[in-house]
Each structure stands twice: as C-alpha cells, then as structure tokens.
Amino acid sequence: MTVPAFPPHLAGLWGSPYSGLAARQAAYRGETYPFHVGDTWMSPAVGCRVEDLYVADIPGLHAYTDTGGLPALRAALAERSAGAWGVPVSPAEVLVVAGGTAGLTALAGATLSPGDEVLILAPYWPLISSLVRTMHGVPIDVPFWVSAAGAPRVTDAATSVAAVAQRCTARTRAIYLNSPHNPTGGVMPADWIAALVAFARDRGLWIWSDEVYEAYAWGGAHVPVRPLAPERTVSVHSFSKAYGMAGLRAGWLVGPSELIAQVGKIAINTVYHAPTPSMHAGLRALTHGAAWVADAAAQYADTGAACARLLGVPAPAGSTFLFLDVSDALARRAGANDGRSPGLAGLLEALADAGVLVAPGPSFGPYPHHIRLCFTAVDPDRTLRGVRTVAALLGR
C-alpha cells in the first residue's frame, strides 16, 4: 500500500516565509544584502559566547538539566522581571524555552484545542500564524498596524478595540500582541494597550504578549503588558533578540504559574528543554550584557533612522524592521517586459538580481503591496549601501 495522505493543516504552514530567492541572489557577483531574516550582524558580548563556556568550570555543560531551565537562570529572570516591572515575580512564573518561537508554540499547545481561534494583529511575524496552525488552532487576522482592503483604519484606543471585537467569536481563546512590532517597527501607545487588555479581560481571553524587541524601543516607550493583567498575560522574551543570540535558541516566558506549569508540559514534549550551553550564555548576558544592549540599541536606532531617510518613510520607533508600501514601484513595473514575474514577485526578483533579499508582504498578512526589510542583519555601512540599492530600485 501507499503512504498516508498528509494532514490538511500542512497546506497552511510556511516552509520559507522570508524569501525563496536565495539561489537567485547567489548569482549576483557584488556585495549582497540579506535583509529578509530578522537577525543581528553582531556577535554576543565577549564573555557571553559559547567559546567562553568551559567544561572545567560548568559541570553538566553538555548534559540535560532542569526542564524548566537552569534554576539560577529562572531566578535571575524572575528578579529581572520584578525589577523592570516593579511587581513581585517568582521563579514559578518563569519558564525558560528554546527561543521565543518554541515558547509561543508551547503556549499555543497549552491554551488551544483544535479549532480554537487566536486574534492576531496584522501585519504580524509570519510564524505566529503558522505555529497556531501547527497546534491545530485557527489564526484570525485583524488588520491593525497597517490598513488592509475592506478593514477600517485603526487610529486610537477605541478603533483598536473595535478591530479585534469585530473578529472575536465564542471560539476565541487568546489575543496576540507584539510591541515593539515586527514587521512595522511600531511601538504601541500605552492607552491602546490598556484598551486591548481591558477587552481581553472582558472577553475572558489569554493575552500572548510578544515583547522580544523590548530592548529596542527608542526613548523608553515600551509598555510591559503582564503587570496590567497578570492573571491572563504571558509575556514572551528572547535572548536571540535582546543579546544577539538567535542561533542559540533560548528565550523565556513569564506568566501565571498554573499556566506556566502547563506550558512546561508542552515544552518538554516538543524540545525537552532549552539548550544547556545557551542557558549558561544567557545567564552571563543577563549579568554582563547591559553595555552590549545599550550599544546595540543606539546603533539600531541610528541605522533604522538613516535607512528610513533614504527610503522616504518615518523612522522606526523600535524593533529592527521597516515595512514598506511599494505600491508606487509596483505600478511603475506593471507591464514591464524584463522577463521577470508580474507583480510583487517580479519586484523581489529585481531586488535579488541586485543582491538584495527582502521578505514579501503576504508573509505578514493581507499585504500584497509591501515588503519587510531588516536593518540589523549586516553592519550599518553595508546596510546603508544595500538600502541605497533598494531606494534606487523603488524610485525613491
């Protein structure tokens, strides 16, 4: 007999959300600009790298450890959260996970039955939609940060609530917030957050608050969500984004201890625990990484603002991304007879042929006329050279 048919939910999952054109870009002979994935060009702080972790100093460095995370790390993270938020936080409210993605997947697994819905403010980080589908939940797009066809524009706290209320059903279990925001570079105002938290409380929803870019909101504008609704909020944090450790796969959640215990069960069954050396590196970054973060934040702010100037858009308020409306360039390309695909695909091909990869708008929701660009993936000078190429191709 043959093999079983693939389950239908696979059709809704991303295989390669950020770019399918790496091979095409590789044919370009000059300097390349991989602006498609969100990452940093910087290595972690000296003392916080894997080369700094010695078997002679750290018993069990390559072995299993506590599945919820190294006890010293959980305690340090609880203390850090308590200090940042001004409220008590116990280690039982903290779960160390194998990166923000793994943390959110475990959170989806612990809060959703098949068919349960999650409200996701669009545009959104592509994996939030597909990880909900992976756990057999249903992601519900809420056009929010950027207008989409047929959706009213969100401009304040009242229209924020109206946008999510319109799509909230009896099957809704959670709302996903993300500020500082991937992909737009926005930071949500405090009154919008307060209104959305009140909505979630009123409807009995969990709040998944993705704050992995919390260190990168210029001017201290970041609003931590968990203190506003501790009974229902799980905040998601990441050594990847905060400390330049994306490859180490370590992050943490902070939430109600009963829910955290359940999320821990899913985490055990998806990856067992965060990598042990990564947790040690993260612990060092927590204690010795502040200067690195301050340096990165200043540099990211400068680079983001310089990129925005070149592209003729407002400077990002946080995160490491710009989300560009390229309708004008698409209109100019319409009917172009250059052998490239029609529409956005052809523009992405033209960029790849000039050595630039960017992520397509449709990976982030109903945005067929947008692209996302990460301005921290390579060093600032190279980033600006690449963004000049982008600006020229977009006619800016």
Of the two residues 78 and 266, which places its CB atom closer to a second copy in the complex?
266
Which span sits near a second copy by CB under 8 A: 35-43, 182-190, 324-332, 338-346?
A: 35-43
Of the two residues 209 and 326, which places its CB atom closer to a second copy in the complex?
209
If one asks whether residue 191 binds a second copy (CB under 8 A), the answer comes out as no
- Selected from 118, 196, 205, 212, the binder of a second copy by CB under 8 A is 205
Do 235 and 209 touch, CB atoms closer than 8 A?
Answer: yes
The H or E element that residue 240 is part of is helix 239-243
Question: Please, what is the minimum distance in Å from the beta carbon of residue 312 to a second copy?
Answer: 29
Of the two residues 7 and 86, which places its CB atom closer to a second copy in the complex?
7
Binding mask 62-101 for a second copy (x = CB under 8 A): xxxx-x------------------------------xx-x
Number of continuous H segments (helices) and E segments (strands) in the chain: 13, 12
Of the two residues 1 and 334, which places its CB atom closer to a second copy in the complex?
1
Do 277 and 53 touch, CB atoms closer than 8 A?
Answer: yes
Identify the DSSP state of 318.
Answer: B
> Which strands, in side-by-side order, build the sheet including 321-325?
321-325, 370-374, 359-360
Q: Which of positions 261-280 make contact with a second copy (CB under 8 A)?
A: 261-262, 264-266, 268-278
CA distance 394 to 243: 33
If one asks whether residue 54 binds a second copy (CB under 8 A), the answer comes out as yes
CA distance 59 to 46: 21
Which one, of 186, 246, 236, lies nearest residue 372 by Cα?
186
Binding mask 331-370 for a second copy (x = CB under 8 A): ----------------------------------------
Which span sits near a second copy by CB under 8 A: 36-44, 77-85, 162-170, 357-365?
A: 36-44
- Selected from 55, 149, 170, 291, the binder of a second copy by CB under 8 A is 55
Write the CA distances from 328 to 149, 242, 333, 347, integer angstroms. 17, 35, 9, 11
If one asks whether residue 13 binds a second copy (CB under 8 A), the answer comes out as yes
CA distance 271 to 83: 30
Alpha carbon of residue 90 to chain centroid: 26
Which one, of 16, 17, 40, 29, lies nearest residue 355 by Cα?
29
Of the two residues 102 and 326, which places its CB atom closer to a second copy in the complex?
102
Question: Please, what is the minimum distance in Å from the beta carbon of residue 15 to a second copy?
Answer: 5
Of the two residues 338 and 381, which places its CB atom closer to a second copy in the complex?
381
